[in-house]
Amino acid sequence: MTRKNADGGGRSTIRDVAARAGVSAATVSRVLGGVYPVSTATRTQVLRAVRELDYVADARAKAIAGAGTPTLGFVLDDITGPSFALMAHGVEREATRLGHLCLVCSTDGDAAHESDFIETMRAQRAAAVILVGGGADTPEYRSRTARFADALAAAGSRLVLCGRPPLDPGAPVTVIEYDNEGGAYALCAHVLSRGHRRILFLGGEPEHTTAQGRERGYLAAHHARGVEADPALRLAGDFTRDSGYRSMRRALETGLDFTAVMAATDMVAAGALTALREAGVDVPGEVSLVGYDDIPFARDLWPPLTTVRVPYEELGRLAVRTALRSAGVGDEHLLLGTHVVVRGSVGVVGGGVSSAG
């Protein structure tokens, strides 16, 4: 059984085209390849054969022979989260703009998946692999990731951490992050400045780097104001709407004492808001609420959510640009700024109701 078929199958090879055009495979390669000198007559012949056979060169073969489209791998927790999606979009757009292909994989927070995928990207000889979003920061994680970074670097590739803090210095990684802690600090300072002293923190998984950064900002702001942060006011969870809803209900049932809540993400804030409303608590009249991320509909909640703006898409774009540039060894580190967006969900303690800006 032969593989060749002369009619319009996609399975035809460069030799089929050559045969049909009455030239050599090399010539076909040349006309297809671009600007190599080929006579107009042959070029026409070849192009006709290509069209008739509906020939498309095998990219894998090209790649292995030296030409070929470079590929970029990116892995994220869950494309479903709005902020992840924004970063992914930035990565994808910039990559295709630069003529790269994109391989994706979502890990659902599973570190083993992450390892597997990095290995796969290595096998694909990806020009860079981008880890999008925070992750669990354990010692195992750090050493494993550092190993990957080395392996990738040794192969002329590159590991990029996008929205995740650097590994130990010296590891050949590119990191593009935003000022997670700084944003949380500013946000919490804003809430404190309105007189709140007992602020419930609805956090993420304890080892998640993003959650940690935001909690550090929360703590630092308290410290700077000389306000003691009651540990009982810090609840763990994850970054989903449902987690926010559940945590808030629990806090309410437990009879926790607080006048404001700072949610780790806008999604968490959305869930918390609903729980608050169901309990008949007025926001921001009785309890103030802030989120983090400034996702598109943060302004569509009622009251419009005060939150922290993060340049997620920019982050993704920069990640690929920087990765592709800094192909050499050495680590690179970019830190993007954030800013708080004041809307109407924070009230003055014991005072008026709204603080829209």
Partner DNA sequence: GTGAAAGCGCTAACAC
Partner DNA sequence: GTGTTAGCGCTTTCAC
Q: Which residues in this chain contact DNA in the complex, by CB under 7 A?
A: 3, 13-15, 22-30, 32-33, 36-39, 41-43, 57-58, 61-62, 64-67
Tell me the C-alpha distance between 313 and 83, whole Å: 8
* DSSP line for 91-158: HHHHHHHTT-EEEEEE-TT-HHHHHHHHHHHHHTT-SEEEEES--B--HHHHHHHHHHHHHHHHTT--
CB of 195 to a copy of itself, least distance (A): 25
172 prior amide bond cis, ω within 30: no
Note the helical H segments in the chain.
14-21, 25-33, 40-53, 59-64, 82-97, 111-123, 139-154, 180-193, 209-225, 241-254, 266-278, 312-325
Given candidates 6, 26, 56, 232, which one binds a copy of itself under the rule CB under 8 A?
56
Segment near a copy of itself (CB under 8 A); pick from 75-83, 132-140, 183-191, 195-203: 75-83
Given candidates 27, 29, 157, 307, which one binds a copy of itself under the rule CB under 8 A?
157
Segment near a copy of itself (CB under 8 A); pick from 135-143, 231-239, 252-260, 296-304: 296-304
CB of 291 to a copy of itself, least distance (A): 11
- 310 is a site residue for a copy of itself (CB under 8 A): no
The residue (of 36 and 297) whose beta carbon lies closer to a copy of itself is 297
The residue (of 24 and 193) whose beta carbon lies closer to DNA is 24
Q: Both tokens of residue 314? A: 């920019």
**Any long-range contacts for 252-258 (C-beta under 8 Å, 24+ apart)?**
252/276, 252/279, 252/281, 256/200, 256/232, 257/198, 258/198, 258/199, 258/200, 258/233, 258/287
Tell me the C-alpha distance between 58 and 138, whole Å: 42
118 binds, among DNA, a copy of itself, none (CB under 5 to 8 A by kind): none
What is the β-pairing status of strands 159-162 and 101-106?
unpaired
Site string for a copy of itself, 251-280 (x = CB under 8 A): ----------------x--xx-xx--x---
42 binds, among DNA, a copy of itself, none (CB under 5 to 8 A by kind): DNA
Interactions with a copy of itself, residue window 214-253 (CB under 8 A): 240-242
Q: Both tokens of residue 277? A: 């409303």
Tell me the C-alpha distance between 283 and 228, whole Å: 24
Structural contact between residues 183 and 340, judged by C-beta atoms closer than 8 angstroms: yes
14 binds, among DNA, a copy of itself, none (CB under 5 to 8 A by kind): DNA
- Amino acid type, 279: A
The residue (of 46 and 283) whose beta carbon lies closer to a copy of itself is 283
The residue (of 21 and 273) whose beta carbon lies closer to DNA is 21
Site string for a copy of itself, 104-143 (x = CB under 8 A): xxx-x----x-----xx-xxxx------------------
- Residues interacting with a copy of itself, by CB under 8 A? 8-11, 54, 56-64, 68-69, 78-80, 82, 85-86, 88-89, 92-93, 96, 101-106, 108, 113, 119-120, 122-125, 150-152, 154-157, 240-242, 267, 270-271, 273-274, 277, 296-297, 299-302, 304
